[in-house]
Each structure stands twice: as structure tokens, then as C-alpha cells.
Structure 1
């Protein structure tokens, strides 16, 4: 038997997009979640019908083929499926006409905080820990952590 030679275009496409391919256990988990009784009830409540979970199953099988035998056809199908899933997820974002898109951050995005906020920050746990890490104050033992230990 001779092993089929891979198409250079397919290899380039796969190598550029391989980061999109998840593990087969991830796809299998998504399929099980999608087809569970709890998910079916939720789908019926939200959409008025159950949704088709077969794409998750196909993706699981393709991912398994890719992991086991580096099947290029399976990888391409997976990548295309992930791109379609991503496109579907971003439709609402692309069609959003409520918010005005910015090309740069606001002028004063890094302006100093008002004095009253800085004053209230001084007495916070976060500030105390930040000062400890910077070495400005001695490290303290956290009493709350020792009081949680109970031997029965």
C-alpha cells in the first residue's frame, strides 16, 4: 500500500488554522451536553424546539480521525465547522448598530482617579497586598486563613 501524498495547499491551510481544532473529547463533551435531557428542555424553553446536535458528533468523529491518523480531509472539515460556528457567534456583534465603534481609546482613558476613590482604595485588602508585594510594608500573616483550619 502506498500512502497518499498530501496536497501542499491543504497542508498550508491546516497549519495556518490548526489552532482552531479542539480535542475529540471536547467535541464529544459538547455533543453530550447538547443532547442531554437538561439541554433539550432548555432548548425547548428558549427556542420552542430542540436544536440539531449532529454537527458536534461529526466534529467529534473528525477530530478523532485527525488525532489518530492526521486525516487532512477531517481537519479541513473541522476547521470549516469552527469557522462557521465562529461566524454564527459573531453575527450579532457585526449587526450591532446601537453602539458607535471607536478607532482609538478615549483621550483620558488613563487619567488619574479622583481623590475620593484613591482615599477609599488605601484601606482595601488589595492595596495592602500590593504594598506587601512591592516591599513597602512588612508581609503579614493572614489571620483569616489560620482560623479556617478545624480538626475534628
Structure 2
């Protein structure tokens, strides 16, 4: 059973009605974990360090209860409240991005976005693990590790 589907079956096997943006609903255990983390000693210490005060964790608890109502009882109002909460959380998270007036947003990538790297960077990249493995995958050099050979070392 997937809790993230807007068309899903509950425990009894009946299908819940569609909820607009129901894909935003997470698994109920995620809300439980977020509430536990928010109210833990470590979480409170982190909140005090970052914000100078403890945060209100009640929304995570409400979301957890609404999620279980939605999943187990097909409570459409609980599902809608949960989606509204997720939208508000998302809006709050993206608010600094939308209010950013320092950087100019561009409509397309720069014209020279794929120009070759400078010579000094190519020289540094030459002996990296990533470069060696990509050459092995392209067949330019033989593999440095043969998976058909089974090595076992007992210490």
C-alpha cells in the first residue's frame, strides 16, 4: 500500500476518492519521525542554536493524525488538511527563493555553458578515479578490477 497515491486502497480494500495534489501526502511514518525529531532533546538544542528558541512542533502531530485518518478511515477532510499543510510547508521553504532580489533569474543557460574546461583543470582531472572509471566503461583502457576473479583474504 502506498500512502503517497491520491487513488489508493485502504486496509479494507476500498479506494479513496481523489484529492487534488494528493501526491504531496507522505507516508504516515514520515510525519511521526518529523514530530519525534522536532520534540527530541537533540532537536530542541538545534532549534535553540539556530533560531534562539524552541519551535512549535504541533503541526507535525496534526499532520500525523490526519495522515492516519486519511489512510485508515478514508477521511477526505483529513487528506485535504494534510495537502494544505504540505503546501504551506513548501511555500515557507521556497519563500527565500521567491523573495530573492539579489540575483537576476535567467530564462536560458549561458551560450558558452558547455565550453571545454581550462587546461589546468583537465590536467588535474586526468588521474582522478572518476576519469579512470569512465575510460574503463568506454573501453579505452582495460579494467583495473576483474570481477570474475574471486579474491579472499583471511586475516
Shorter-chain TM-score range = 0.7 to 0.9
**Residue 20 of structure 1 corresponds to which residue in structure 2?**
24
Q: Give the 5 Å matches for 1:27-38.
A: 27-38=31-42
C-alpha change, 1:140 and 1:46, in structure 2 (3 Å) is: closer
C-alpha change, 1:111 and 1:78, in structure 2 (3 Å) is: same
Please, what TM-score do these two structures have when normalized by structure 1?
0.80
Structure 1 residue 103 corresponds to structure 2 residue 107? yes
Whichever structure has more helix as a proportion of its residues is: 1
Q: Give the 5 Å matches for 1:1-152.
A: 11-12=17-18, 14=19, 16-141=20-145, 151-152=154-155
Task: Point out the more displaced range, 25-34 or 42-51.
Answer: 42-51
Pairwise CA RMSD: 2.1
Please give the alpha-carbon distance, in whole angstroms, between the structure 2 residues aligned to 1:151 and 1:70. Answer: 57
The structure 1 segments of at least 4 consecutive aligned residues displaced by more than 3 Å after TM superposition are 149-152
Please give the alpha-carbon distance, in whole angstroms, between the structure 1 residues aligned to 2:141 and 2:50. Answer: 54
Please give the alpha-carbon distance, in whole angstroms, between the structure 1 residues aligned to 2:153 and 2:65. Answer: 49
**Residue 6 of structure 1 corresponds to which residue in structure 2?**
none
Higher relative contact order (CA 8 A, sep 6+): 1
Q: Which runs of 5+ in 1 are unaligned?
A: 1-10
Please give the alpha-carbon distance, in whole angstroms, between the structure 2 residues aligned to 1:136 and 1:19. Answer: 45
Aligned length: 136
